[in-house]
Structure 1
Amino acid sequence: MSLQRTLEPESMDTMEEAILYVEMNHAEVNRLFAEDLFAGGPVGPRVIDLGCGPALIAIEIASRDGELQVMGIDSAVEMLDMGKRQVDMAGLLGQVFLQHADLKQMGDFEDGMADTVVCNSVLHHLPQPRVGLETALRLVKPGGRVFIRDLYRPETEQEVERLVELHGTGEPEAARQLLRQSLHASLTLGEAKALAESAGISPDAIQMTSDRHWTLDWKEGS
């Protein structure tokens, strides 16, 4: 029997959780996210990063193009506080701007305000992932681009543990448990494709892009 989806907390609300997240080794994953984003087509100049956490992806994106303006949005105040320090240390205060908001309640944000909307490993935190996808689709301008990457849920507990062992090597047990919980909370590839199709996006826009990630790369109007 395939694993059923088990939800995890939507956000990391304490400074201890924010520190744990920042100290985890995300460098390679973040680098590949940015590389694949830029390799897939034009980016920006106005970029929104939904669920930006400590702004590591926003920094990775902005550092590759000095013309970009990146707005990072997150509901966790402690994560944003950590992110502001990261942006300052990266020397990108003029490019990366962080704002507190819940992506499930962004009615005050204008439709079509971004050329590109990105989202990394956030949908699996949401009880209803479609809400996150719909927010991204609303915020992107006509002809703009949505780039979403998230974890996928394996079929078996054994595969979950294999991925935790493979990608959690050298990490503290708390970090390994976060990965384990995230894999359990994620969508299968089939569920992700069905989610895209329900929003009017071809399921072909979603592909497996690593042993634990699927990616949606879609241009509005395509």
Structure 2
Amino acid sequence: MTLARTLEPETMDAFDEAVAYLQMNHAEVNRIFVDDLFAGGTTGPRVIDLGCGPGVLAIEIASRDKAIEVMAVDLSTEMLGLAKQEVDFAGMLDQIMLHQADAKTMTGYEDEIADTVVSNSLIHHLEQSGDAIKTSMRLVKSGGRVFIRDLMRPESAAEVESLVQTHAGDENEVAKQLLRQSLHAALTLDEIRVAAAECGIDAECVHATSDRHWTLDWTRP
């Protein structure tokens, strides 16, 4: 029997949880995300990062090309506060602009304002994943890309624990629990393919890209 999905809060508003998330070692995951993003096709110069969290992915993207400008979007005040510190420390206040907005709707933002829309680990926070996918499609220009990656829910609780030990075994208990909850909240590969198809994206644009991630890479016609 497939492991049932257990939703977690949409935003991380508690300061201690936001700090714990920032302190987790995401460097390798972010590096691989950006490697795959740039290897897969044209990126930028205007990039929107939906659900930017503490801003580390936006920093990694901006560091690859000084011509890229990133609009980093999050709904959490606590996360944006940490992102401001991280972006400032990285010396990228001229490249990365922080915006507080709901990634599901981006109300008030015009259509086709980005060359690339990216998102990492946002979808598993949302009850209706299609909302963020449709918004990403709306924001990207003709010929632009939507590149979304998130965790993939395993088939059993035992597999969840195995992944937690493999990828967060050296982290503290708070970090392990955050990963555990996220894996329980994630979509399966079949579920995200169905959600993508309902948004008008061919299911073949969604692939499993690690032992715990799926990736959606779509170019707007």
Q: TM-score range by the shorter chain?
A: over 0.9
Identical amino acids, percent of aligned pairs: 59
Q: Distance in 2 between matches of 1:197 and 1:19?
A: 36
Indicate yes or no: 2:104 matched with 1:107: no
Q: Distance in 2 between matches of 1:209 and 1:196?
A: 16
> Any residues of structure 2 matched to 1:1-222 within 5 Å, and which?
1-221=1-221
Q: Distance in 1 between matches of 2:105 and 2:161?
A: 35
Q: Distance in 2 between matches of 1:113 and 1:181?
A: 34
Q: SS of the counterpart of 2:112?
A: coil
Q: Distance in 2 between matches of 1:119 and 1:211?
A: 19
Which letter does structure 1 place at the counterpart of 2:113? M
Q: Distance in 1 between matches of 2:104 and 2:218?
A: 21
Q: SS of the counterpart of 1:197?
A: helix
Q: SS of the counterpart of 2:149?
A: strand
Give the Å deviation of 1:18. 1.5
Q: Distance in 1 between matches of 2:166 and 2:144?
A: 36
Q: Distance in 1 between matches of 2:217 and 2:104?
A: 21
Given that 2:105 and 2:132 are in contact with CA atoms closer than 8 Å, whether structure 1 keeps it comes out as no
Give the Å deviation of 1:107. 2.1
Q: Distance in 2 between matches of 1:91 and 1:36?
A: 24
Deviations 1:52-73 (A, max 9, x none): 0011000000000000000000
Give the Å deviation of 1:200. 1.0
Q: SS of the counterpart of 1:53?
A: coil
Q: Distance in 1 between matches of 2:69 and 2:98?
A: 11
Question: Any gaps of 5 or more consecutive residues in structure 2?
Answer: none
Q: Distance in 2 between matches of 1:166 and 1:107?
A: 39
Which letter does structure 2 place at the counterpart of 1:147? F
Q: SS of the counterpart of 2:64?
A: coil
Q: SS of the counterpart of 1:92?
A: coil
Structure 1 runs (4+) greater than 3 angstroms displaced:
none
Aligned length: 221
Which letter does structure 1 place at the counterpart of 2:92? L
Task: Give the TM-score normalised by structure 2.
Answer: 0.98
Give the Å deviation of 1:14. 2.1
Question: Any gaps of 5 or more consecutive residues in structure 1?
Answer: none
